[in-house]
Amino acid sequence: MNNSIPHDSAIKHVSGESVYINDFQVNSQLLIGRVVYSSHAHAKIKSLNLSIAKQLKGVHAVLCYKDIPGINQMGPVVHDEVCLAIGEVLCVGQAIVLIAAESEEIAIAAEKLITIEYEPLVPVLDIRTAIEKNLLLGPARTMQRGDFEGALKSAVNILEGELETGAQEHWYLETQTCLCIPGEEKEITAYSSTQHPSETQAIIAEVLGINKNEVVVEIRRMGGAFGGKETQGNWAAAWSALLCYATKRPVKIHLFRDDDQIITGKRHPYLIKYKAGFDREGKITALKFEQYADGGCATDLSLAILERAMLHADSSYFIPNMLVIGRAYKTNLPSNTAFRGFGGPQGMAAMETLIDRVARFLNKDAADIRKLNFYGIETNNITHYGQTVELNRLHTIYDQLMASSDYRNRRKEIDKFNLSNEFYKKGIALTPVKFGISFTTSFLNQAGALVNIYKDGTVLVNHGGTEMGQGLNTKILQIAAAELGVGIDKIKVNATNTSKVPNTSATAASAGTDLNGMAVKNAIDILKVRIAHVVAAEFSKQSPQNKFEAANIVFENNFIFDKLLPHHRMAFADVMPIVHFNQVSLSATGFYRTPDISWDKLTGWGKPFNYFAFGMCVSEVVVDLLTGFHKNLRTDILHDVGDSINHDIDIGQVEGGYIQGLGWCTTEEVKWDKKGHLMNHSPDTYKIPSVQDIPSDFRTSLLQNAPNPNAIRKSKAVAEPPLMLAFATWLAIKDAISAVGDHKFEPQFSLPATNEVILISIEELKKKLKN
Amino acid sequence: MQATISFILDGKIQSLGFNEQFKPTTTVLNYLRSLANHKGVKEGCAEGDCGACTVVIAELNQNDSLQYTAWDSCLVFLPMIHGKQLITVENLIQYNAGEKRLHPVQQAMVDCNGSQCGYCTPGIVMSMFSLYKEKTPLSKENIEDALTGNLCRCTGYKPIIEAAARACAEIKVDQFDSNEKQIVAMLLQIKDQSKSILIDTTKQKYCRPKTINEALELRNKMQNSVLINGATDVALRVTKRHELLEEIIDLSGIPELKKFTKTAIDFKFGAGMSLENVKKVAEGALPALFETLAVFGSKQIRTLATFGGNVGSGSPIGDTLPVLMAYNAEIVLQQISEDAAPLNTEQSFPNISERKINMNNYILGYRETERKPKEIITAIIIPTPLANTIIKFYKVSKRKDLDISTLSGGFSILLKNNCVETITLAYGGMAAVTKRAKKAEQYLIGKLWDRATVDQAMELIAEDFTPISDARSGAEFRKLAAKNLLLKFWSETK
């Protein structure tokens, strides 16, 4: 398979011709939708006056909860989220009223004519208060193996502590968007920027009180999503559908950036408490994590995210006696949601923090402590939830990366630098990634496809996955071309559409290519068998002296031939009219379900993942001790994607994931004020990495000769795992701070490590040094 | 006076009047997105922080050839592009016998896998195109500087940097070179026919005078009008707060305000000089000012924002204010004055009076300055620093680039026998106004410039200020960093 073809939309992207939903040309009947949302984190709605707004010229609908024809319910898993507030609001940003008007200007004017009277209630705005008040979203979960308490008693050394990790705003460039077009009777077509068209379809049907077969959801591409459109794309969709249904006109909602940031949920902030016992060498023998997740005002995906956080509490390490307890809490913030990594990053951050502390405690290099605790190849290879870590690449990657990054020599150089510099310190760290691939809700691991071949030999591939920039459609194109033996110029991957492939899972959990690629292959396999029979019969007609069998027919380089008698060949395009003439269907659906996974949520034991993806990162920084600025001097990444389907796209995912993780670990700070208003609601104060923030020397490689037997064309999922490579930079910063106290004291540290966190940590260390 | 504007788009002169659909404060972004064939340009934030809306503007320079710069179209009111060529991502494509040909910067983005979701891509392509047309020597710094104003959430930027390096390594003749003569002729035609612009839609009055005199007269008549030049700050009142600005005087069409003169004793910057041009002048000559502007906004913002505009806004952070205090700069203010003698005898009317205010006396309170309603800032004068005076600028922000300061410091010191002869410690972001650390300054005068003295002075800085906690940082951090900046200054000047 030729590997690095460009993204299938690359030429359109650079020409400005790729069409996003907000770019659609709609007729002059189009109305602009607007959502009026709560300005209180927790309040009763005492009164709502919409009558004046309704009379404004150019306003076509002003809706509140009473105007919802179906069910006022949006919760994707637990039904605890109303579409429009009824008598109480639970967060700033909660939708109360919808407006459809002839222009944005009129909609804004109409909003000003609406009066909402609130009776403020006391909001809960942080996880510690939620814990105190015991505002659990669901029962506590436990995963354990061995005897933590017993092992702790016999441990030589014990460390305990806690880590706080911050929220993260998705900051997809394209804000939440949906355009709804009314059809005949109750029919509605929604062009929705969603990672989960089938769920968007279901939600629209439910709020409108119509059948799913009356709703079509289509999405060609999103301008980024990162988990933020897995469930929360449903909001703009349901709102515009309600307005469309009420006005019988096309309605578009494209959230303004600040509104998007205020309304939508973020990566869950976590508080994680840990207690660990370890021996003199640094081998951890007993470990307990208590994870506390801030779920925001509704369940959304918080419980699944918590589960993944617990499943990744081990990071890459074998801990014989391990206990993980997880709890998710309700607060008065917008409901936190999926974000690349889905809890994995929070769970792993605590483990990596612990390793870092063990190393400092024993005055050893953290890279050695990591190596010492890695899962083994033959032994010590069973996780705290019972799954065997098969095809463990950790040791191979470690050896290769330690050598290629010249870690040992650079560590010495850094120590020298730190001795002779008072105002600047350098730090270095290596951190691993082991990430489980599959939805942990096992039934979601299924996908569908519909492959149509037309009489001219061109192919239209439909699948249930969505394109959000990750290159899914490009990989699907490559898979289809390779399986059918035709050039990519003959194949088109269609916009994702619920009327083509129904009942799909979200494009999430990094599993887009694994699942949909297999479903497409399945459809193509079915078509190839059909075609092969026709071709074998055709060859037999042409030369009756030979015997042709469908099983010997192969598809390669735009030709179809008999592998035993290869001079009997026909062009792919020439065969299709013959197949049609023979009354054989050139359209097939495909299906795939991940085999061989089983997961018992109650016991916390089983094999939730199809396989693991691995990676590792070495990062070096210099910290300005007087301002807290750091510079990312050099970062080396070695990542495992199995046999890469598209090298350049995979590198793009790895680098992009690392930089997105870097943002979460360094400059991306989300703060709410005492009343629950988001303080960082635009890029003015919310700082994602810019071109200046990437490593001065940035080296990324894919692990070679590491085929994955468990996925399409021996590849591995990418997407999420690389995000957590950024812990190397985060802990390199901590290493540099630690140098202020000659690594004798544990610096106080949290995530993100903003220059504020860094400077205050340095100040604390200086105080300790003085005493 | 004329009520319409003219600019070039798609190779043709477009004349535009103003009505319900297009207001004088309609942004170029919204104008373009209303057209069927220019939807490549995207809104990512409507505040100039993401660059998804980047377009390139070609305009006549002094030699009547074209100069290309990248602008954030979300911040540009339509009348500001009068007399210029507006170039969008769609204009970079050529069709040869129906076959699509990409511009070298577009091709490089494809070849380097520089796009993932593609939403930021048109803006990035345009920033890269602007760099391509600058034809300046290529360096890593140049490339990064050209791309700082464009956020990408997918790629991690590396392939984008590679694409810029690849495309700009070898500048080929492109369709813009081939069409330059024709475009120049059209722009000259617009220029020759142009009068001052006055758009009056009954709801809004937008004036774009061509001379300072005209501007001062307008200002005299409309003292509550909003003065704009690059409008990078004022535009947010429209794009984010949805205000209807009723009276606007746009100074961006006045060539006199863009002049720079240097004498033996000072540098005189026209208030209408873009910060990007100020940065170019400052490079080498005024290093602390250069440092300030190197981390000021993005290239797109600096191209639009003007020196006078930044000083005029008088914001508490006001990135150039602390360093101007350190330079002991002066603000030149002019106004129409009935009683004053004519400034220039060649001008019979109007009578213009001029005064100069030292930067250190200019700020009166929160967004309140010495400038009177009738007055317009016409120039900023920086005295040539004495040979042994050391001036430095430090900025602390969450992200180093394209981020408003959490706090900043503009410091100057003159040492004699290693004792402090004079010192200025001006801080931004530490109070409601840009403010000097007076206690620390007074303590330091006459003292030995050593670590022990500085340690003492650092404690006084904590007394000089009571900063606030906000979205950017907590008060404790501000205090700590403010003290540290003095130590940093010492460590770099001892």
Token readout for A116 is 């909402």
Q: Quote the minimal CA–CA distance from A699 to chain B in Å.
A: 10
The number of folded domains in chain A is 4
Does A669 contact B398 at a Cβ distance shorter than 8 Å?
yes
Q: Which residues of chain A neighbour B27 with C-beta distances below 8 Å?
A: none
Question: What's the distance, Cα to Cα, between the start and end of chain A in Å?
Answer: 65
Establish if A672 touches chain B: CB-CB under 8 angstroms.
no
Q: Which residues of chain B neighbour A651 with C-beta distances below 8 Å?
A: 113
- Which residue in A10, A257, A759 is closest to B115 by CB distance? A10
- Which residue in B116, B144, B485 is closest to A656 by CB distance? B116
Domain spanning B104-173, CATH class:
mainly alpha
Position A384 pLDDT exceeds 70: yes
- Which residue in B147, B154, B159 is closest to A469 by CB distance? B154
**Dist CA B53 CA A455 (whole Å):** 43
In a domain, A22, yes or no: no
Exposed/middle/buried for B352, CB within 10 Å: 0-12, 13-18, 19+? buried
* Domain residue limits at A352: 124-168+267-384
Instruction: Enumerate residues 224 to 243 of chain A having a beta carbon within 8 A of any beta carbon in chain B.
Output: 224-226
User: Who contacts B164 (Cβ-Cβ below 8 Å, separation ≥6)?
Assistant: B105, B108, B128, B131, B143, B146, B147
Residues A231 and A309 in one domain: no
Nearest to residue A301, comparing CAs of A465, A445, A440? A440
Establish if A20 touches chain B: CB-CB under 8 angstroms.
yes
Q: Which residues of chain A neighbour B70 with C-beta distances below 8 Å?
A: none
| Residue of A15, A111, A632, A691 to mutate, testing the B interface (most B Cβ within 10 Å of its Cβ) | A691
> Least CA distance to B146: which residue of chain A?
A691
Q: What one-character-per-residue DSSP string does B211-240 give? A: SHHHHHHHHHH-TTSEEESS-TTTHHHHHT
Does A692 contact B161 at a Cβ distance shorter than 8 Å?
no
In the block, which residue shows the tokens 């995906």? A301
Residues A257 and A292 in one domain: no
Q: What one-character-per-residue DSSP string does A565-610 give? A: STTSEEEHHHHHHHHHHTT---EEEEEEE--S-EEETTTTEEE--S
Q: Which residues of chain A neighbour B400 with C-beta distances below 8 Å?
A: 629, 692-693
Residues A354 and A416 in one domain: no
Establish if A103 touches chain B: CB-CB under 8 angstroms.
no
In a domain, A206, yes or no: yes
Domain boundary residue, one of A367, A384, A401: A384
Q: Quote the minimal CA–CA distance from A145 to chain B in Å.
A: 38
For residue A547, count other CB atoms closer than 10 A to its CB: 13
Q: Which residues of chain A neighbour B242 with C-beta distances below 8 Å?
A: 105, 108
- Taking only the tens place, the pLDDT of each residue in A467-502 is 999 999 999 999 999 999 999 999 999 999 999 999
ipTM of model: 0.97
Residues A112-124: what's their mean pLDDT? 98
What residue type is A227 in one-letter code? Answer: G
Q: Which residues of chain A neighbour B300 with C-beta distances below 8 Å?
A: none
**Dist CA A393 CA A384 (whole Å):** 19
Angle at alpha carbon of residue B277, lines to B271 and B280, rounded to 5°: 130
Does A691 contact B148 at a Cβ distance shorter than 8 Å?
yes
Domain spanning B259-383, CATH class:
alpha beta
With beta carbons less than 8 A apart as the criterion, state whether B440 and B454 touch: no
Residues A556 and A642 in one domain: no
Does B119 contact A224 at a Cβ distance shorter than 8 Å?
yes
In the block, which residue shows the tokens 């405690």? A361
Establish if A286 touches chain B: CB-CB under 8 angstroms.
no
Domain boundary residue, one of A538, A566, A593: A593
User: Who contacts B96 (Cβ-Cβ below 8 Å, separation ≥6)?
Assistant: none
pLDDT score, position B341: 55
For residue A536, count other CB atoms closer than 10 A to its CB: 19
Establish if B162 touches chain A: CB-CB under 8 angstroms.
no
**Dist CA B228 CA A239 (whole Å):** 38
- Which residue in B93, B144, B160 is closest to A692 by CB distance? B144
Token readout for B293 is 């502007």
What residue type is A188 in one-letter code? Answer: I
pLDDT (tens digit, 0 to 9) for every residue of chain B, 494 residues total?
899 999 999 999 999 999 888 999 999 999 999 999 999 999 999 999 999 999 999 999 989 999 999 999 999 999 999 999 999 999 999 998 889 999 999 999 999 999 999 999 999 999 999 999 998 899 999 999 999 999 999 999 999 999 999 999 999 999 999 999 999 999 999 999 999 999 999 999 999 999 999 999 999 999 999 999 999 999 999 999 999 999 999 999 999 999 999 999 999 999 999 999 999 999 999 999 999 999 999 999 999 999 999 999 888 776 899 999 999 999 999 999 876 555 555 555 568 999 999 999 999 988 889 999 999 999 999 999 999 999 999 999 999 888 889 999 999 999 999 999 999 999 999 998 999 999 999 999 999 999 999 999 999 998 999 999 999 999 999 999 999 999 999 999 98
**Dist CA B182 CA B340 (whole Å):** 47
CA distances from A469 to A78, A195, A255, A495, B466 (A): 29, 11, 20, 13, 46
Establish if B100 touches chain A: CB-CB under 8 angstroms.
yes
What residue type is B216 in one-letter code? Answer: L
pLDDT score, position B346: 53
Residues A496-520: what's their mean pLDDT? 97
Buried/exposed code over B89-102 (b: 16+ C-beta within 10 A; e: otherwise): bbbbbeeeeeeeeb
Position A451 pLDDT exceeds 50: yes
Q: What one-character-per-residue DSSP string does B27-56 give? A: BHHHHHHTSTT---S--S-SSSSS-TTEEE
* CA A752 to chain CA mean position, Å: 19
Parse chain B into domains and list their residue ranges. 5-91+178-253, 104-173, 259-383, 389-493
Establish if B408 touches chain A: CB-CB under 8 angstroms.
no
pLDDT tier at A2, thresholds 50, 70, 90: very low
User: Who contacts A29 (Cβ-Cβ below 8 Å, separation ≥6)?
Assistant: A249, A250
**Dist CA B116 CA B159 (whole Å):** 11
Active site residues of A: 720
- Which residue in B90, B114, B151 is closest to A683 by CB distance? B151
Establish if A38 touches chain B: CB-CB under 8 angstroms.
no
Position A1 pLDDT exceeds 50: no
In a domain, A522, yes or no: yes
Q: Quote the minimal CA–CA distance from A66 to chain B in Å.
A: 30
In a domain, A23, yes or no: no
User: Who contacts B280 (Cβ-Cβ below 8 Å, separation ≥6)?
Assistant: none
The domain that contains A553 carries what CATH number?
Answer: 3.30.365.10
pLDDT score, position A592: 97
Q: What percent of chain A has pLDDT over 90?
A: 99
Nearest to residue A470, comparing CAs of A708, A301, A222? A222
Instruction: For strands A88-89 and A157-165, give the pairing.
Output: unpaired
Token readout for A22 is 């907000």
> Least CA distance to A647: which residue of chain B?
B113
Nearest to residue B295, comparing CAs of B155, B151, B141, B481? B141
Establish if A756 touches chain B: CB-CB under 8 angstroms.
yes
Establish if A760 touches chain B: CB-CB under 8 angstroms.
yes
Token readout for B425 is 């410690």
Residues A146 and A182 in one domain: no
* CA B56 to chain CA mean position, Å: 16
Residues A75-90: what's their mean pLDDT? 95
Residues A182 and A44 in one domain: yes
In a domain, A603, yes or no: no
Residues A286 and A415 in one domain: no
Q: Quote the minimal CA–CA distance from A220 to chain B in Å.
A: 11
Domain boundary residue, one of A263, A278, A303: A263
Establish if A172 touches chain B: CB-CB under 8 angstroms.
yes
H-helix segments, A604-677: 647-665
Establish if B471 touches chain A: CB-CB under 8 angstroms.
yes
> Least CA distance to B395: which residue of chain A?
A627
H-helix segments, A647-741: 647-665, 727-740
Residues A253 and A312 in one domain: no
Residues A223 and A209 in one domain: yes
Residue A448: in which H helix or E strand, if any? strand A446-453
Residues A467 and A411 in one domain: no
Establish if A4 touches chain B: CB-CB under 8 angstroms.
yes
Position A397 pLDDT exceeds 50: yes
**Dist CA B298 CA B146 (whole Å):** 8
Position A677 pLDDT exceeds 70: yes
In a domain, A627, yes or no: yes
Domain spanning B5-91+178-253, CATH class:
alpha beta
- Taking only the tens place, the pLDDT of each residue in A694-730 is 999 999 999 999 999 999 999 999 999 999 999 999 9
Residues A185 and A197 in one domain: yes
Instruction: Enumerate residues 132 to 161 of chain B having a beta carbon within 8 A of any beta carbon in chain A.
Output: 144, 147-148, 150-161
- Which residue in A19, A691, A756 is closest to B474 by CB distance? A756
Q: Which residues of chain A neighbour B102 with C-beta distances below 8 Å?
A: 11, 14-15
For residue B356, count other CB atoms closer than 10 A to its CB: 11
Does B119 contact A223 at a Cβ distance shorter than 8 Å?
yes
Residues A287 and A200 in one domain: no
Position A118 pLDDT exceeds 60: yes
In the block, which residue shows the tokens 């092969």? A532
For residue B64, count other CB atoms closer than 10 A to its CB: 11
In a domain, A3, yes or no: no
Residues A204-215: what's their mean pLDDT? 98
Residue B265 phi, psi (nearest 5): -100, -20
CA distances from A766 to A279, A403, A419, A738, B252 (A): 30, 35, 16, 11, 51
pLDDT score, position B62: 86
Angle at alpha carbon of residue A104, lines to A98 and A107, rounded to 5°: 40
**Dist CA A225 CA A192 (whole Å):** 12
Its CATH architecture, for the domain B389-493, is 2-Layer Sandwich (3.30)
How many Cα atoms within 13 Å fall on the side-chain side of residue B484? 26
Q: Quote the minimal CA–CA distance from A216 to chain B in Å.
A: 23
Establish if B478 touches chain A: CB-CB under 8 angstroms.
no
CA distances from B72 to A230, A472, B16, B300, B450 (A): 31, 31, 20, 6, 46
Buried/exposed code over B177-187 (b: 16+ C-beta within 10 A; e: otherwise): eeeeeebbebb
Q: Which residues of chain B neighbour A224 with C-beta distances below 8 Å?
A: 116-117, 119, 153-154
In a domain, A601, yes or no: no
Does A469 contact B116 at a Cβ distance shorter than 8 Å?
yes
> Least CA distance to A700: which residue of chain B?
B158
> Least CA distance to A631: which residue of chain B?
B400
